[in-house]
Structure 1
Amino acid sequence: MPFHVRDPEADAMLRQYAEEKRVGITDAIKLAVTRAREADAQSRAAKLAELKAIRDRLNSLPRTGEVADKAFFDELSGD
């Protein structure tokens, strides 16, 4: 299946990447997409780990037993 890059800048970037990696255009595309997906997965994993740390920190705090004052919060929001 042919693949045609219509954007001259993208085409130049792809060809330069292929040359730097010493691979063909198809392999350069596969390599670039694989690396981008891996970077996305690592970024997502890091964000999830950070959120888990925040959640764990909040869950470690002692419960006060206090109940939120609905009337107070309604007044703050203008209701």
Structure 2
Amino acid sequence: MPLYVRDDDVLALAVELQRLTNAPSKTEAVRQALRHEIERTRQALPLRNRLARSQALAEAIGPGDPDFDMKSYTDALWNRG
């Protein structure tokens, strides 16, 4: 579905951004700007919120095996064991 800009100020901003970024089209300039703003907004979230998904996955996996020998495991992967 196409994006139609009906506000002259917004259209002027899109044209200026296209020129400044050398984007091939206004659509591409707006796409890049929206992606940038989404990433900036995500980074502004507190670290605790950004890590919540990772923490939930770690909790779902459960505690590690204290008897696991990483050296033997990696040696076996490299056929050195």
Q: TM-score, with normalisation over the residues of structure 1?
A: 0.54
Matched, 1:11 2:14: no
Question: Separation in 1 of the partners of 2:16 and 2:26?
Answer: 10
Unmatched tracts of structure 1, length 5 or more: 50-79
Aligned residues: 49
Larger Rg: 1
Question: Separation in 2 of the partners of 1:27 and 1:16?
Answer: 12
Please tell me the root mean square deviation across aligned C-alpha atoms, in Å: 2.0
From the superposition, tell whether residues 42 and 8 of structure 1 become closer, same or farther in structure 2 (CA, over 3 Å).
same
Q: CA deviation at 1:26?
A: 1.3
Unmatched tracts of structure 2, length 5 or more: 51-81
From the superposition, tell whether residues 47 and 15 of structure 1 become closer, same or farther in structure 2 (CA, over 3 Å).
farther
Q: TM-score, with normalisation over the residues of structure 2?
A: 0.52
Runs (4+) of structure 1 exceeding 6 A deviation are none
Q: CA deviation at 1:3?
A: 2.2
